[in-house]
Each structure stands twice: as C-alpha cells, then as structure tokens.
Structure 1
Amino acid sequence: MVGEIWASFQRLPLWVRIWMVVILAPVNFAPLFFLGTHPSAIWVAALSVAGMVFNMPILLRQRGFSAALAFPHLVFWAPLVVMLLLRPAPFDGVNGGYATLLIVILVVDVISLAFDSVEAVKWVKGDRTIA
C-alpha cells in the first residue's frame, strides 16, 4: 500500500511534488511549534494540520493521489483563511514570528484553495483518476 501511494506521488508533476513537500506541508505543520505562545495558536494549528491529516484516510483507501484530496483542504483551510482575514479578537496582540507565520499560512492556503477548488470540481464531475 505504501508503495502504491509513493508511486502515485511520483506520477504527480514535479512542481506539484515540490509545492507539497517544500511549501504546503511545512507551512501547515509549522503552527504546532507555536502552541502555547498565543491564544489563537491552538485553532490555527488544529485547522492547519486537520487539512492534511484528514487526507490520510483518502490516500489509504484510494492507494494514491486523486482530486478527492481537495475536500479536507476546503473543509478546514477555508475557515482558517476567513479567520485570518477577519482577524477576530483572539488574534489581538499577535506579533513576531507567529505573526509572520500567519501571513505565510494565509498566502499559501489561499493558493492551495485555488488549486483545490479546481480539483474538487473535477472530482464532482466524475474524475476519480488516481495519479
């Protein structure tokens, strides 16, 4: 099973693999390092990580990468992006490295959600192809 998932990953375009490994995953796991530093950190970490963790059952069931992987991102990262854009009271006093991380998460997840929206539409229209 792991071999099938790895082979599927290798069939993705190089730029997608680089995006996922060098940018997307590290940025969305980074909030774990800020837990306890600010009241908002638990929510940011939970939503950031959930967008990836909930892809695991899909990967395991399908034994590869498909457009279905867009849905956990849409479910968890869309509210995160809205929360970061609106900056409600729990974000008062955010500064330093954590503030920078929030901006990076916002930019990266907005880009990801643009790709994910296209992929979700493909899946809804019947494209169940596994890379």
Structure 2
Amino acid sequence: MLVELRALHSALNRWLRGHHRTEAEADGAVVHIFVQGKDGSAVYGDFMDEPKPQTNEHDIAVPMGAAVLTLHTRVDPAELMLKTAQADLTIPFQPPVKLGQTMGSLRDKITLPIQSDVSRGSIKLYLRRHLIWAVR
C-alpha cells in the first residue's frame, strides 16, 4: 500500500508541475491556475520561465471559491493572434454560463468584455514570457 501511495504522489507532483501555477495578487492573495492543452497535454515545463511546446487550444481554469472561471482559447502562434477566447463561469450543480467572447492580436492587450446576468466587467489578455496572461 505504501508503494502505491508513493507512486500516486509522484504522478500527482509530475502532473502539477506541467499544469498548475500560482500567482500572488497585489493584496497578497494567492490565485491557483490550472492549464492544459485541449488534448490534456501539459503546458508548463519544470520551471516557471520555461514553457513546454504547446498546442494551439487551451482551457484555463481559475478557481474562485466554489465557482470556476474557464477561458477557452485558440491561438495562431505564428501570427501571435488570439483566434478566439471565450470565458465561462461554472457554479456547482449548474450548467456553465457564457460570460463573453473576443479575438485579436496578442501584441496588443485584448479586452474580453463580460456582459451577462451573473457578472459584468472585463478580462484583459496579453502575452508575457511566451504565455497568455489574463487580468481582471
């Protein structure tokens, strides 16, 4: 049983290295970010500044208490174009709510407007260290 637990722990750590990052907000709060390619592949390398080769489609999940904000993105890396970015909000026991959709060049900051019954505002998307970043 101990060997099985060690193998599970090792597999979980390997998965987290490739799919999970944390970011500190200005107020000191820590945000956990989980990202994977549409095919389930890892997006991050073993170090924060060393991303692995990526697929062009990603789902980025940001847990916010009981709710989860998910960004579905499709990127053309040769042109640095965000072909589509859609934001959904998932609340337990409810179907996902589409919050908004946008497209544009990653050379510029792209604004994804949020206009729905559950939330209003915007998410800004931009390129940093070869990764797409989002801020609210």
The bucket for the TM-score relative to the shorter chain is under 0.3
User: Which structure dedicates a bigger proportion of its chain to strand?
Assistant: 2
Which structure would you say has the larger RCO, counting Cα contacts within 8 Å and 6 or more residues apart? 1
